[in-house]
Structure 1
């Protein structure tokens, strides 16, 4: 009987961990892919920034039309809010999700304070890109392709990490059901936010007509 009780205890500990593995795997892949694409965009924007410093009249590869380009964003004050080019922030911050994703694949367990601190970085990122996208569309009058890639990866990573923390009780018991219920909806929620940004850009900049001229 003691052995049976011990086996039951081991099963009760193993089942939740087994049930969590698909969720952790999906989160790990999202963080690795999202972080890598964010690094690509940040590196490309940094290269373009150096190109414009050396040749202010250079034609950048990201220039598709007058309203679909990176040059205006790079040269604007919004492009260097902290006194240096914004892409340098990406080069510093996007390695973090890649490292965390790889660690999750290796079944590394992080303490609660780490997850909350990691999530805080995503809250900063989503707030920053919300402001930047608004400034870009309504004040600068452009949609930067590489910036749009950053928006595209930050949104699902922010949603996934935030809802994961809610589902695991790191925001308190009151949010567990919310996180558990919404975490499988991350792709659809991300798509909805993509549509909002795309509609804003189209209504303000009429990008579609420019693409066909």
Structure 2
């Protein structure tokens, strides 16, 4: 017999989904505009090209920037609508079935996995070695969104788990911001070790 769901109106999560969705969508929109400008004028310098290290052009023009045969920002333009809709629906007192939450989580998990892959490519791929500003904005909201939705799935009983696991997941929700900050720090550390990123970013912004 399925466990009874709890936290059926996660207001805090709903607000975050809307905020993250808007930020992620805007980042995808901005990258899409930059891609259109590059297509119209290949010699144009993107507004997010701040230095050799901090730029969007290399990412947009690489094969990694069109991993599925079309520009990656198109995924963001369509995908980030889902968190906004789900968040707004929860605030409007909607309740979703387990299958819906599983489908939503699958989409978030795909986005998280794709972002991790893109981070690795940006830092380690010989043809990149860049940090794309708008890409980093996307990373910054995808990572905590995955953590928050996963923990909600556990604490709400959507995933079959013991009461202890559900209680731990509920307690961990308040630590999602810290987990995100630690994740950002790890990414920055990897970028520093591979590309001396901290010094380069500092020089770009304040040099």
- Match of 1:149? 137
* Secondary structure at 2:89 match in 1: helix
Q: How far apart, CA to CA, are the structure 1 residues paired with 2:44 and 2:66?
A: 19
Q: Are 2:182 and 1:192 equivalent residues in the alignment?
A: yes
* Secondary structure at 2:58 match in 1: helix
TM-score, with length taken from structure 1: 0.87
Paired residue total: 195
TM-score, with length taken from structure 2: 0.89
Q: How far apart, CA to CA, are the structure 2 residues paired with 1:198 and 1:208?
A: 8
- Match of 2:16? 30
Runs of 4+ deviating beyond 4 Å: none
Match of 1:64 among 47, 50, 64: 50
8 Å Cα contact 2:188-2:197 kept in structure 1: no
In the TM superposition, residue 58 of structure 1 has moved relative to its aligned partner by 1.0
For residues 69-148 of structure 1, what are the structure 2 equivalents within 5 Å? 69-139=55-125, 140-148=128-136
What RMSD in Å do the two structures reach over aligned CA positions? 1.6
1:148-188 Cα deviation digits (max 9, x unpaired): 00000001111111100000111112342342232221111
In the TM superposition, residue 196 of structure 1 has moved relative to its aligned partner by 0.8
Q: How far apart, CA to CA, are the structure 2 residues paired with 1:196 and 1:208?
A: 12
* Secondary structure at 1:107 match in 2: coil
Point out which structure has higher relative CO (alpha carbons under 8 A, 6+ apart). Answer: 2
- Which residues of structure 1 form unaligned runs of 5+? 1-15
**More deviation in 168-177 or 73-82?**
168-177
Bigger Rg, which one:
1
